[in-house]
Homo-oligomer: A and B are copies of this chain.
Amino acid sequence: MIKNKWDIRPIGIIRTPYKEKAPYQGKFSRDPCEVEVFEEYEEGLKDVEGCSHLIVLYWLHRANRGVLQSHSPRDGKLHGVFATRSPSRPNPIGLCVAELIEKRGRFLKVVGLDAFDGTPLIDIKPYFSDIDSP
């Protein structure tokens, strides 16, 4: 039973200092970034301020969806994209565990993102160490 349409809906926008070059991984950046959630989804943010860390999912709008193997910056070798964190992959979903610094209405100030400025936000989940850390 497939009820849902297979479309991704932008729920907000990510603002970062990264215009042309982004960090290898958000974890290694301490630049403050802003996550704006669109007004129509603001209700979904209730109690987000209680989370110290958020799993931020975004749509890698510049990535190449046709790529199945790529060289990893970790070892320089060619791997399948499912064994790397390459942005280019069939469904270009980016994922960072970011630290929540402050919530002001529908604007979140976070640290730890690697997305280009203007990247569409697609989901936010609370990070729970008991379920998200092996």
Which residues from chain A sit less than 8 Å from chain B, CB to CB?
1-4, 6-11, 25-28, 37, 41, 43-48, 50-55, 57, 59-63, 65, 68-69, 77-85, 89-93, 95, 97, 99, 120, 122-134
Complex Cα–Cα for A25 and B9 (A): 25
Known contacts: A84-B126, A127-B134. The answer to whether A92 contacts B47 by CB under 8 A is no
Q: Which residues of B sit under 8 angstroms from A84, Cβ to Cβ?
A: 126
Q: Quick check: B11 and A90 within 8 Å, CB to CB?
A: yes
Q: Quick check: B62 and A1 within 8 Å, CB to CB?
A: yes
Distance of A134 from chain B, by nearest CB (Å):
5
Distance of A60 from chain B, by nearest CB (Å):
8
A123's contact among B43, B89, B125, by CB below 8 Å, is which?
A: B89
Q: Quick check: A44 and B8 within 8 Å, CB to CB?
A: no
Q: Quick check: B3 and A45 within 8 Å, CB to CB?
A: no
Distance of A127 from chain B, by nearest CB (Å):
7
Complex Cα–Cα for A48 and B45 (A): 35
Q: Quick check: B131 and A133 within 8 Å, CB to CB?
A: no
Distance of A63 from chain B, by nearest CB (Å):
7
